[in-house]
Chains A and B, each alone.
Chain A
C-alpha cells in the first residue's frame, strides 16, 4: 500500500504527462500536466480512456486490451493523432506494467519536431537521389538501400556483391578508377569521393558520385560503407557549362578580350590570362592591385581614365571608354574598356567586373580612313577649283576659237580675215598656256606622297632672285633678307622655288607706283614650325572683300590686266602637298605679308 500511495502522489506531481491505466486502458489517475499535454482545458470534456484520447490504438496496445488480463510487458509505440488545435502530432507512448496493482503507467513524449526533421531528411535524400551502401568484408554481406537500387535501376530483390557492384561502372577509365579507390580503401582505409559513370541495369549511362569509407580493425578493413548519389543531371550541365566556358575562352582569346575583376573594398584586381597577354605583363610581375593597372596606362590618358572610372563607381556614368597602355617593351596599345559596377544593398560600389579589348588594329585602320577622308576632301575642293578653270579659261579660249572660225567660214567680215587669224593664234596660245598651268596643278595634286627633303632656304631664295635679276634691275627694289645661312625646311625644292618666285613677282607687279618697293624676308621658329614671311609695302589686298577667295583659281584683285590669278592657287596647292600652310596678312593700300609655315616634325632624322 505504501508503495501505491507513494506512486499515487508521484504521478500527480510529476512534471510530465503520465497516467495510470487499468487493464481495459481506462484512465484511473493522471499527472496535472497530462490533459494539458493533450490541450484539454475543461474537466467535463476529458476522455477517460486511452482510445478516447488518441483514437485508434496501435496494434500492440490494442491486443493488450483484447487479452482482457494483465500483461507484464514494456510497450513502446509511436502514435499520431490530430490534436484539438487541428495539428498533426507525433508522440512516443511508453507503457510500463505495474505488476502489483495489475495496472499500467502510460507516459507520453512529444516527438513531432523530430519526426518532421526525420521526414525532411528522408525527403531530402529522395530529392537529392542519395542512396547508401555497405559491404561487410568479414561476412561477405552487401547491403544496398532502396535508393541505391533505384539509381542502379535494379529490381528490389536484386542481390549485389562487391564484384557485380563494381561491374556497373562503365568499362575503361571509370571502372579502373573505382577498382583503384575501393582497393585503396580496403587496403589502407583511404576514404574516397569520386564522380564516375555507371551503366544501369536498364543500360542507360549515368553520372554518379560515390563516397566510400573503411572501418579498420587491427589495420584491416572490416567494413566499407558510403553513399551513392545520382548526379547525372547536374554533372551533364556542369560539363556543358565547362564546354561553353571553353568555347567562350577560345572566343575571348581570338578577339583579344581580357576579363578583369576588381574588388574595390580590398583593392584586389584579378586578371584572366588574356589580360596578361594584352598588357604584355608577366603574371609574377603583377601585384594584383589597382596601382598595377594604373602604372600601365599611357600618361596622357591616365587622368581621363581615372575620372571615368570614378564616375562609374559614383554611378554617374557607365564605364565604357578607350585609352592607351604602354607595355614594358614600349609599344602603345589602344584598349577599349568596358566595366560594370556591383553594389551592396546600401548602394556602395564593392566590385567591378569588366572586359578589355585590344583595338589597336581597328584604331589604326580608323586613323588611316580619317587621313584618306581628309585627303579626299582636299582633293574634292581642288576638283571644284579645277572645274572653275575648265569653265573659265579653257572655255573662254575655246569659245573664242569657235566664234572666230565660225565667222571665217561664214565669211562674215571678209575685210577682217587677217585679223581673225591673228586672234585665233592668240587664243590658241592662251589655250596652250592654260593647259600647261593645269598640268602643273594636276602634277602637284596627283602626287600625294611627294618626296620631302630638307631644303636650304637662303640658297633657294638666292637662286630665285638670280633668275629674275633682269626684272629686279629694272625696278630696283630694296630686298632685305633676314635668314640664317643654315635654315632649312622640310619640303620639295622645286615647289619652294616656285612659291618664292610667285611671291616675289607678285610684290614686283603690285608695287605702289610712286614709292620705292621694299621687301623684307624673315624666318622664325616656334612650336615645331618654321615660318618664312614675305612682307612688302605694295598695294596690298582688301582682305575683307577678297580674303576668302584669295587662293582660289583665277581670282585677281588689283585691276591689273596681266593678272591671271593662277599663281597663288598653284602656290597654295604646292604648300598643301608639302603639309605646309600659306597665309596672308594685308589691308588694301598697306602692303601684304605672306606667311609660309613648314612643320619641323622630322627634324631629328635630318
Chain B
C-alpha cells in the first residue's frame, strides 16, 4: 500500500538522505519530507492539523536530536489536538539499543512502532503492511 507522504525527523542529514532513497525505492511513498528536529516538525504538524487531510500518514521520528528531541515532541503531541495522533502513524526510528528507550516508548499509547537503525527494506515492508491493516 502506497501512502501519500512520510515525515522523516532526524538531525543527521546523511541518514535522511539515505533513508529517503530507501523509502522511495521500496514504494512506500514518493514524497518524503525532511525535518531536523522535533520543533520543526511540531510547528508543521500543528499548522497542518487545521486541514487534517494534508497531514502525513506516517512519521518516522528519531529520539536524540538537538533543540527538541523525540520524547519532548511526543510530550507536546500528547497535549495537542487528537487529530494529529489519530491521523499520523508515529514510528520511533532510533539508533538507540537501550532498553530504557524501548520501555519509555511504551508509555505513549499513540506510538505505532519502534524501529532500530539501520532502516531496512524489511522494516519498510512491515510499515506498508501496517498501513494496510489500519485502513
List the B side residues contacting A554 at CB < 8 Å. 64
Q: Given the complex of chains A and B, what is the CA–CA distance between A299 and B17 in angstroms?
A: 71
Count chain A CB atoms within 10 A of each CB in B18, B67, B119 and give the residue with the most: B18
**B43-51, B52-60, B90-98 - interface stretch:** B90-98
Chain A 404-421: CB-based contact to B (< 8 A → 1; otherwise 0): 101100001100100110
Closest residue of A by beta carbon distance from B117: A399
Q: Which of A387, A403, A412, A557 contacts B118 (CB 8 A)?
A: A403
List the B side residues contacting A560 at CB < 8 Å. 66
**Docked-complex contact B66 and A395, CB < 8 angstroms:** no
A427 contacts the other chain (CB 8 A): yes
A388 contacts the other chain (CB 8 A): yes
List the A side residues contacting B3 at CB < 8 Å. none
Q: Give chain B interface residues in 9-32, CB to chain A under 8 Å.
A: 11-12, 14-15, 17-19, 21-22, 25
Chain B 54-74: CB-based contact to A (< 8 A → 1; otherwise 0): 000000000010110000000
Closest residue of A by beta carbon distance from B68: A559
Chain A 560-604: CB-based contact to B (< 8 A → 1; otherwise 0): 110101000000000000000000000000000000000000000
A400 contacts the other chain (CB 8 A): yes
Q: How far is the CB of B15 from chain A (nearest CB, A)?
A: 5
**Majority secondary structure, A binding face:** helix
User: Given A412-B22, A559-B67, does the pair A387, B119 have CB atoms closer than 8 Å?
Assistant: no
List the B side residues contacting A530 at CB < 8 Å. none
List the A side residues contacting B119 at CB < 8 Å. 399, 403
Q: How far is the CB of B54 from chain A (nearest CB, A)?
A: 26
* Chain B: number of interface residues, binned into ranges: 20 to 34
List the A side residues contacting B67 at CB < 8 Å. 556, 558-559
**Docked-complex contact B66 and A423, CB < 8 angstroms:** no
List the B side residues contacting A416 at CB < 8 Å. 21
Q: Which 3 A-B pairs have the closest CB atoms?
A: A399-B118, A559-B67, A399-B117
Question: CB within 8 Å of A: which residues of B?
Answer: 11-12, 14-15, 17-19, 21-22, 25, 36-37, 39, 64, 66-67, 95-98, 117-120
Q: Other CB < 8 Å A-B pairs besides A388-B96, A392-B96, A403-B118, 15 of them?
A: A391-B95, A391-B97, A392-B95, A398-B118, A399-B95, A399-B118, A403-B22, A404-B14, A406-B120, A412-B22, A557-B66, A558-B66, A559-B37, A559-B67, A561-B11
Question: CB within 8 Å of B: which residues of A?
Answer: 387-388, 391-392, 395-396, 398-400, 402-404, 406-407, 412-413, 416, 419-420, 423, 426-427, 554, 556-561, 563, 565
